[in-house]
Amino acid sequence: MLQLVEELKNRYPDRLTIFDMPPILAEDDVIAFLPYIDAVMLVVEEGRTSRSDLTRAVQLLGEKALMGLINEDNEMNIDPQQLAEITQRLVETYHPKRLILFGSQVWGIPNEDSDVDILVEVEQADEPSWQRARRGYKALFGMGVPCDILVRTTDEMMREQAIPVTLMHHIVMNGRVIHE
């Protein structure tokens, strides 16, 4: 596993690699994987994750950088007011060139498991791409709407979207611009 993680870090130093793992309290594999990663995003389920379980999970992470929490609200329905609030908070946080909505909210039929996927395009950034979303997650904290945020510079987007099979190409071609 270490070889895979090192290969990904070396091959894509300007990108965030996400490993979707089982619940930290349910699987020893997750704890065994912790030495190989740089940061953790915890997903909690409103009404099901107890405060003591959350505290225990954070303690198990030890010195790992906790990027944030995603509140997985199973009764999510993105309505125009929620989307406007998300947009406003992200604009205030990043002062972006564009915000593009993508994923099931645009391309499919969102259901109770759907989140809100947003690409934030910024002119330039001082942080690596995998760290940039932290401010956005912090700005959206407490809204009760599960969101995934990608933050890319215009140059990064241009490079990535030039390859037709990439997610970035699909986002730019088929996403919905919600702020420009």
Query: Which CATH number is 87's domain given?
Result: 3.30.460.10
Kindly list the averaged pLDDT for each block of 10 residues, start to end, along the chain of length 180. 82 78 75 78 71 80 68 57 93 96 82 87 90 92 90 94 90 91
Query: Which tokens is 100 given?
Result: 């593009």
End of a domain among 49, 72, 95? 72
**49 shares its domain with 85:** no
- Specify whether the CB–CB gap between 150 and 137 falls below 8 A: no
State the residue range of the domain holding 62: 1-72
Same domain, residue pair 1 and 52: yes
For residues 48 and 83, membership in a common domain is answered with: no
Q: Are both 61 and 89 inside the same structural domain?
A: no
| Residue after which a domain boundary falls, among 72, 98, 117 | 72
Question: Do residue 29 and residue 88 come from a single domain?
Answer: no
Residues 179, 98, single domain; the answer is yes
Q: Final residue of a domain: which of 20, 39, 72?
A: 72
Task: Judge if 87 and 170 occupy the same domain.
Answer: yes
Distances from the Cα of 129 to the Cαs of 27, 76, 120, 133, 144, in angstroms?
29, 27, 11, 8, 25
Please give the pLDDT value at position 85.
94
Q: Give the global pTM.
A: 0.59
Structurally, how many domains does the chain consist of? 2
Q: Are residues 121 and 95 in the same domain?
A: yes
| Tokens 């130093």, residue located | 13
Radius of gyration of the chain (CA): 17
